[in-house]
Structure 1
Amino acid sequence: MPPSPTCTSVPTSADPAPVAVTCGEPAGIGPEVIAKARALAPEVPFFAIGNPDHFRGSSAEVRVIGAPREATADALCVLPHDVPGPAVPGRPDPAQAAGVISAIARAVALAESGQAGAVCTAPIHKKALKDGADFPHPGHTEYLAALAGGAEVVMMLACDALRVVPATIHVALTRVPEVLTPATLETALRVTHAGLRRDFGVRAPRIAVAGLNPHAGEGGTMGREEVEWIAPLVVRLSEELGCFGPLPADTMFHAGARAGYDAAVCMYHDQALIPIKTVDFAGGVNVTLGLPFVRTSPDHGTAFDIAGRGVADATSMTAALRMAWDMARRRAEAF
């Protein structure tokens, strides 16, 4: 798969508005990696949404701004948002949950109004949000879809060497056979195809489809899903969407196989995430395809165990910001 182009040019007056970066869980490594990314991605205009005090003492100078248009690259610009109390590393505070959630909604509103060119979200801690604000969504992806009016979305994990999409996301493995339906898989394929064209500039996408069972069912001897409906669906959509398969998942992620497709659609969470985290653990980016705005996120969690120690790796946050900016510029050029 050819790598996505990396943004290296200086922003111009024709570029979209700066990227809005949500604070994420204040007790995690979000504030640290956002601050570090300011120096690592000087070509990307962005601002953070959160409590400015949660970023003070970081590796970047903090500058409070009153509007997204005031964001500059010579400091970590923060648009103040009500996330009360101190950020205590490794100790999430349920009292901050509502502020963390509303920061995401605010970033989306800014993107939808054109004041932000894209949304990049720092990691959240789902239990803290549920405990503090009864957050009903399994994760960012589902919440963003709800904010977008129930848009049909898929979660893509992307790096230079691989792009993967799980057709089912945050569900227990025992529930995958009931959640994975022909409609679910077709939606994943259609949204992936459209996203590759619109956001990654792939004119004729090639999408590899993984099997559900070992050896892709091996002709029905290790499971009937491939024979009964997965293969027929892929064949029906192959010409329209450039998809092929189902392929045995254990042989489709080595370098030679990856060269034959632009993205792989997998059947469940770990089938997709294990390969990309093995190929590029530090540099993967979470992208939500199907939204009316661009959204990316680093492909890691809150990392409470190292929060506050200054050792967090900002590679994924930096890659997420660069990808968000690339995608925002690509969408802007299309209009």
Structure 2
Amino acid sequence: MRNETRVAITLGDPAGVGPEVIVKALATLPRKALANFVVVGNLEALERAKRVTSVSVNFETVPTDGAVLVDEVPLDAPLPEIGKVSAAAGEASVRYIRRAVDLALAGEADCIVTAPINKEAMNLAGHHFDGHTGLLAHLTGSKSSFMLLASERLNTIHVSTHVSLRGAIERATVERVLATIGAGHAHFMRLGRHPRIAVAGLNPHCGENGLFGDEDMRFLAPAVELAKAKGIDVSGPISADTVFARAHTGAFDLVVAQYHDQGHIPIKLVAFDTAVNVSLGLPIDRVSVDHGTAFDIAGTGKANHVNMLSAIAYARLVAASPRHPAAA
């Protein structure tokens, strides 16, 4: 039986910067901490990334003192070329994620950290998902999940993400908004915080009493009242043009954003390098970097590993916190 928490890090698309930011990040950690990690991927890709970045960290496919364990995933093909979109790389990235999910479901990993994947490559390989979110829901048998973007001074959870704006409006139902509030509340309670939550309005000025649309009155306000009845500290809907600034200055711990860009734009403005992506509502814990594969700089060693360090730190925080019954 393991005495320490174990974080599984997936390699991401092997043609992107994932392997580079992983080796850079792990190289900064104390030697004794390396036993708490397993990289799910390929030793060959990690060694290639070490050469590119000129960092020193040991990887082994068997447990070795002072080395990071690699859970080797068979590719049945040569390692994909750096910097190019390909079906082979897409297939590899999906295999890494599938293996990491298996580890987490079996209790052999307490949290997954995912390096970036490329949606085009994944679809070329025949895996037709919107990215990590849809794939993880599929692999865990979950109906849906919630995307939380977390940073030091601003946190936002999304009612919808990778859908059209029209689709996002349709998804802003009482049930979905209430579920999103509940997922965010449960997560913060699990981390030992009683969050002050604000629900961002969907329409300009929350619709101005129906002048600019009535969705805020019909769907968002009832969801807020139902959440309050459950004892959740939640306010709203609050006009989206002010609520993020108020949260950033300390008025709220979490903002419920109604759609992808409403939540992503403010947090990327204030915490571009440090915000991490956290999946809530799954039977496993998953944290991700909040950047892409960056094929244009892959293989140059220039990729910044600060976001991977943030993801690792948040994953260790989550892994050390018992799952709250409401979040299970």
TM-score (norm 2): 0.89
Partner residue in 2 for 1:88: 81
Partner residue in 1 for 2:268: 277
8 Å CA contact retained: 1:52, 1:62: no
Residues of 2 paired with 1:115 and 1:102: CA distance? Answer: 17
Q: Secondary structure in 2 aligned to 1:330?
A: coil
Partner residue in 1 for 2:101: 108
The one of 198, 204, 209 aligned to 1:219? 209
Partner residue in 2 for 1:15: 4
Aligned length: 314
Letter in structure 1 aligned against 2:79: P
1:254 paired with 2:245, answer: yes
Partner residue in 1 for 2:315: 324
| Aligned residues with identical type, % of pairs | 38
Deviation at 1:179, TM superposition (A): 2.5
Letter in structure 2 aligned against 1:136: H
The one of 57, 62, 67 aligned to 1:61? 57
User: Which runs of at least 4 in structure 1 moved beyond 6 Å after TM superposition?
Assistant: none
| Structure 1 residues without counterparts, runs of 5 or longer | 1-12
Deviation at 1:184, TM superposition (A): 1.6
8 Å CA contact retained: 2:200, 2:237: yes
Partner residue in 2 for 1:125: 118
1:176 paired with 2:168, answer: yes
1:36 paired with 2:32, answer: no
Residues of 1 paired with 2:316 and 2:187: CA distance? Answer: 15
Deviation at 1:76, TM superposition (A): 4.1
The one of 179, 186, 192 aligned to 1:194? 186
Q: Secondary structure in 1 aligned to 2:141?
A: coil
Distance 1:110 1:71, change over 3 A: farther
Partner residue in 2 for 1:27: 15
8 Å CA contact retained: 2:60, 2:67: no
Distance 1:71 1:194, change over 3 A: farther
Deviation at 1:284, TM superposition (A): 0.8
Residues of 1 paired with 2:246 and 2:296: CA distance? Answer: 33
Q: Secondary structure in 1 aligned to 2:318?
A: helix
Deviations 1:121-146 (A, max 9, x none): 111101101111x2122121122122
Letter in structure 1 aligned against 2:141: G
Partner residue in 1 for 2:159: 167
Residues of 2 paired with 1:165 and 1:333: CA distance? Answer: 18
Residues of 2 paired with 1:206 and 1:170: CA distance? Answer: 26
Deviations 1:59-83 (A, max 9, x none): 23342223xxx265x4443221123
